[in-house]
Amino acid sequence: MTLANLTELLATTTRGAIAAFNVIQIEHAEAYAAAAAHTNLPVVMQISQNAVRYHGALAPIAAATLAVARASEQPVVVHLDHAEDEDLVREAVELGLTSVMYDGSRLPDEQNREATARVVQRCHDAGVSVEAELGEVGGKDGVHAPGVRTDPADAAQFVADTGVDALAVAVGSSHAMTSRTAELDVDLIARLREGVPVPLVLHGSSGVPDAGLVAAVRAGMRKVNIATHLNQVFTEAMQTSLREHRTVDTRRYLGAGRDAITAEAARLQQLLALEPTT
């Protein structure tokens, strides 16, 4: 059994940041487990509320991801990502996920704090860690919001008010970018690390070039969420495979996608751990 919650994992990870990759198909989870086996590094496998909406339910994809995670020799956090629905958080805890992100960033500030504190209490009773977001990173609805910034004093107060274990902050990235051109406010990351007593999380990391990711980790980011970039890699490998092989065997082209993101996930894990590539 290698399941861990985020707090436990970050406490034992002394260098760099942990890579957090999104699972939509079972092939994603299999790829991240294979990457972790190759790098000997822990990984977060996360299922977003949007992925749950796509499947129509959390339970089947959660069961598949948990089974892959339990078979891994590396520590794996199975995390619910961007949950805006408290009932979905409750279901995730019941299903055995070890970590959740409750995203109340679209709520009015006071309501966000109250709802987040309520989620934290319930999750902590079950040994589940909670990440929250302050300062909407934006882009999930297709609109990029790279101008939004999280204020360090506000972030510290938010953590004190809610008891969250990790905090997603807005520092210049934006969700769902398909070009790696985002410029992060590295000074702000350093100030947030100074002022905020819990690990910081970078969202929308697909748009950040390698050098920006390394700078963000050196400045204090501890969990780095990457989804769109890996889906680009997956899709390109699948398209190449379909062009090269006339086949109706889904294993052939999904397998090509899975192999491609295994290699890229491993590379990113090592980059974020500030370790030389093997």
Catalytic residues: 81
Q: Is 223 in the site for Zn ion (CB under 5 A)?
A: no
185 is in an annotated binding site: no
Cβ atoms of 207 and 177 within 8 Å: the answer is: yes
Phi, psi angles (nearest 5°) of residue 81: -105, 135
Strands (E) in 95-228, as ranges, are 99-102, 129-134, 166-169, 200-202, 221-226
Question: What does 269 interact with, of Zn ion, ligand G3H, none (CB < 5 to 8 A by kind)?
Answer: none
The C-alpha angle 103, 204, 131, rounded to 5 degrees, equals 30
The C-alpha angle 131, 275, 171, rounded to 5 degrees, equals 40
Dist. CA 157–CA 162, nearest whole Å: 9
Tell which one of 98, 129, 162, 206 touches ligand G3H (CB under 6 A). 206
144 is in an annotated binding site: no
Q: Is the Cα torsion angle 80, 198, 105, 118 positive or negative in sign? A: positive
CB of 77 to ligand G3H, least distance (A): 13
- Residues in 35-64 that interact with ligand G3H by CB under 6 A: none
Segments in 74-127 forming alpha helices (H): 86-95, 109-125
Dist. CA 157–CA 268, nearest whole Å: 32
Tell which one of 41, 216, 227, 233 touches ligand G3H (CB under 6 A). 227
Nearer to Zn ion, 34 or 261 (CB): 261
Question: What does 212 interact with, of Zn ion, ligand G3H, none (CB < 5 to 8 A by kind)?
Answer: none
Considering only the stretches 56-64, 113-121, 170-178, 238-246, report the one whose residues sit in contact with ligand G3H under the rule CB under 6 A: 170-178
Nearer to Zn ion, 203 or 222 (CB): 203
133 is in an annotated binding site: yes
Question: What does 105 interact with, of Zn ion, ligand G3H, none (CB < 5 to 8 A by kind)?
Answer: none
Name the one residue in this structure whose structure tokens are 């699948």.
Answer: 238
Q: Which residues bind ligand G3H (CB under 6 A)?
A: 22, 81-82, 175-177, 203-206, 225-229
Binding-site residue numbers are: 82, 103, 133, 175, 203
